[in-house]
Homo-oligomer: A and B are copies of this chain.
Amino acid sequence: MPPYSKILTDSSQGFSLKEWRFDSTEARDDSGKGSWSVTKTCLAGGRQEGTEIVDIDNGVLKFVVVPTRGMSIWGGEIQDIRLGWDSPVTEVVHPQFVDLTDRGGKGWLNGFGEWLSRCGLESMGPPGPDGSQVLTQHGRINYLPASYLEFRFEPEPVPRIVLRGVVEESFMFGPHLQLMTEISTEIGSSELVLNDTVINLADIPQEMESLYHINFGPPLLGAGAEFHAPIKRVAPRDARAAEVDMAKWNLYTGPQPAGYTEQVYFAELWADQQGATQALLQSPDGQSGALVAFSTQQLPYFTLWKNEAPLKTGYVTGLEPATSYPFHRAVERKAGRLRKLAAGETHEATVAIKALLTGNEVQAAVQRINDLQRESPQVETKPMDEA
């Protein structure tokens, strides 16, 4: 059986399908891996007026891709586990209602509620001037609508759903970066995979930053939850992060009272010979988790964001592999961590997120992380912003 594909949006043809559905029945999928469906709709009401989303249900794992928001992933669920968090922002806010320059360049936060959002591509990190430029927080890719969207069902070798999107980040006297993402999931699996390629379409070099902001609240986050990764070196971002006993930087204590401020840790990870590594959020009871797998060759810098705020005020943790740390771009440039793409050059990144549904799966993931831990971790106590 040949693959089935359908173009859902193509700005070069001026069109976008607003309502569309495809499922295992229509696909005549007789793999026996269960019924699945892919549904594109256009939301209405409030700040989500006009937001186009694609609901993907592979039979086991469900998640929502948002072409209108840079092919981010709003949320997911598997069995009784919610993948995502409770942001004060409950609607999938359309970019028309977001002004990135708002709140001193922190307008990015006005729509922040995703399970997975990308920061970048021209820059990410805090707002502020960088030479003659004025950057806004976390860049613009998360608020740019996809110019191209294509669905694909591949029956072989393993039945697989693929959503391809193209997002253009370009302006005159600015970068011309293009994100091509392929978000895929095998039918009946507990994993989704992002295959991203960023290309510099200009014929001059262009700096580029990319961070995957993968965020979890309850039930995976809670008092007793733990973060695991093969740490080569870890440091608190700032004095606030350094307040904690660094022996416990990876442990979660549950929602804290009003007045709590976020704590952020920067790390380099060990990987195998091919660069493959993984980071784990383990649930409080150790019976479930979320595993983020990526390559340190593609994404060499890792951030752990702990925001153990009160429950209704953005209680969340973020596992964030990236091309650099989310300091201001000028800092990253000076530190030699800033990626620069030559004319026509690409940067690729594969990120897989897998839900772990049993204690055995969690322990196997921890074991794999321990295996990667070649030497003892170098744990800094001095804040990195004082370096």
Contacts and interface: CB of A to CB of B under 8 A. Distances in A.
Contact of A14 (B48, B95, B309): B48
Contacts of A104: 129, 132-134
A50 interface: yes
Given A91-B147, A104-B133, A205-B258, A176 B312 contact: yes
Contacts of A43: 11, 14
Contact of A45 (B9, B88, B111, B113): B9
A367 interface: no
Nearest to A257: B204
A235 B111 CA distance: 41
Contacts of A312: 176, 201-203, 343
A348 interface: no
Contacts of A358: none
A173 B310 CA distance: 12
Interface string A341-382: 001000000000000000000000000000000000000000
A376 B285 CA distance: 70
A209 to B, nearest CB: 16
A89 interface: yes
A196 interface: no
Contact of A49 (B12, B99, B134, B145): B145
B44 A9 contact: yes
Nearest to A168: B46
A204 B258 contact: yes
A4 interface: no
A253 interface: no
B9 A310 contact: no
Contacts of A203: 258, 310-313
Interface residues of A, number: 70
Nearest to A8: B45
A35 interface: no
A16 interface: yes
A90 interface: yes
Residue from A111, A310, A312 whose CB has the most chain B CB atoms within 10 Å: A312
A81 B43 CA distance: 39
Interface in A73-100: 87-91, 95-97, 99-100
A47 interface: yes
Contacts of A41: 14
A265 interface: no
A100 B102 CA distance: 8
A87 B172 contact: yes
Contacts of A87: 172
Contacts of A132: 104
B176 A313 contact: yes
A220 B129 CA distance: 38
Given A16-B44, A89-B172, 18 more contacts: A11-B45, A12-B45, A13-B45, A46-B146, A47-B168, A49-B145, A99-B99, A100-B102, A104-B129, A104-B134, A109-B174, A110-B171, A112-B171, A201-B312, A202-B313, A203-B310, A204-B310, A312-B343
15 contacts: A11-B46, A12-B90, A14-B44, A15-B45, A16-B45, A47-B144, A47-B147, A95-B96, A95-B97, A99-B101, A103-B134, A172-B314, A203-B310, A203-B311, A310-B343
Q: Which 5 A-B pairs have the closest CB atoms?
A: A11-B45, A46-B147, A11-B46, A204-B258, A88-B176
Interface of A: 9-16, 41, 43-50, 87-91, 95-97, 99-104, 106, 109-113, 129, 132-134, 136, 144-148, 167-168, 170-176, 201-205, 258-259, 309-314, 343
